[in-house]
Amino acid sequence: MKRDFIDIQEFTADELKTLIYLIEIVKKASKERALPDLLYKASLAMIFEEPSTRTRTSFEVAMTELGGHAIYMKPGEIHLGARETIGDTAQVLSRMCDGIEARLLKHKNILELVKYATVPVISGLTDYQHPTQSLCDIFTMYENARKIKGLNLTFIGDSTENFNSLLFISSKLGLNFYMASPKKYQPKESILNEALKNAKESGSEIVITEDPKEAVLQADFVYTDLWYWIGQEDEEEERRAAFMPKYQVNEKLMKLAPLHAKFMHCLPASRNTEVTDNVIDSEQSIVFDEAENRLYTEEALLIAFIGRTLKPWEKDKENIYYKEINKIMGKLS
């Protein structure tokens, strides 16, 4: 398996499913406060070029629960690409830390970080993908439906970086993916073509439409994301006009989906913009389960990518989950 976790496309369907099963075991262990200290005395450098709630909190808490330590490097606090090359930063952090998590504005910069780092790098978001979020999302669907292949996922909104990784992982794992969006905000041809190649192998169906009503008719899960984000402030008025009210996920739209359909959002949400209060706060909503699952996803990723580079702490060999986690780790080597 790859050393770094920055691109869903670099992993096979079997590897991604194994990571999902690892999250399930890690969540159970974490809930029982029985998670072994598999990252005992390990350190994680966390580089952020953007503010973060869920990504920062989940990685920092995960490192603590695994017996390690996380170092938060806030926007503008280190010389990443300014007064010091990204390569030099990568080499310095690799000498002092056991892994690097990075939320960077440009995907090309995380590729540069990976090129020079000698420790695992995990992406916390770039302008290309948000792989930790999409892995968490699929786990949350699996947790609710107890299956992955054949699920129907409907995405309403803009083709964000989160959309890209969600489309890739869904098409690799055999979920049927429906997107409803104005033509201008539908995925780039290069992104769609990659996903269609995945779908050809997995048997999933990908449908891109401008009609949200059509897109939700068979949905097991209805997903939306922000219509505008950092760097798109000057487009806010144009984007609101393009999406509102047709693409807002509201009670009326959710009533067109099957009764069992669940609502998802990666958060933060602009309430009563892309989703109304009466949907995000409804019994159909699993957004806060989804947010909580970021913690267990990061714990699993830290074990899978950094933990396998470390010698286990001897006392954990007696832990009830140690053998179970190690068994799954054997499939990822």
pLDDT tens profile 306-318: 999 997 766 677 7
The pTM score is 0.96
Phi, psi of 187 (to 5 degrees): -65, 150
Question: Which of the four CATH numbers 3.40.50.1370, 3.40.50.720, 3.20.20.60, 3.40.50.800 does domain 131-289 have?
Answer: 3.40.50.1370
pLDDT digits (tens, 9 = 90+) for 59-108: 999 999 999 999 999 877 887 867 899 999 999 999 999 999 999 999 99
Q: Is 225 among the residues known to form the active site?
A: yes
- Among the listed residues 97, 137, 225, 265, the single catalytic one is 225
Average pLDDT score over residue span 321-330 = 90
Among this protein's residues, is 133 annotated catalytic? yes
Contact (CB, 8 A) for 125 and 103: yes
Entry field: residues in the chain: 333
Structural contact between residues 26 and 18, judged by C-beta atoms closer than 8 angstroms: no
pLDDT of residue 235: 85
Q: Per residue in 187-215, pLDDT tens?
A: 999 999 999 999 999 999 999 999 999 99
From 56, 220, 266, 284, active-site residue: 266
Q: List the Cα angle 86/87/88 in 5-degree steps.
A: 95
Residue type, 69: H
161-193 residue pLDDT tens: 999 999 999 999 999 999 999 999 999 999 999
103 catalytic? Reply is yes
Domain 8-130+293-326 class in CATH: alpha beta
* Spatial separation of the C-alpha atoms in residues 134 and 68, rounded to whole Å: 25
Q: Which of 9, 129, 133, 248 is catalytic?
A: 133
* DSSP secondary structure, 76-103, as one string: TSS-TTSSS-HHHHHHHHHHH-SEEEEE
Out of 54, 56, 103, 239, the active site residue is: 103
Of the listed 9, 56, 98, 130, which one is catalytic?
A: 130
According to CATH, where is 3.40.50.1370 located in the chain?
A: 8-130+293-326, 131-289
Using the predicted structure, report yes or no on whether residue 229 has a pLDDT greater than 90: no
Q: Which residue out of 54, 239, 265, 294 is catalytically annotated? A: 294
Give the per-residue pLDDT at 93. Answer: 97
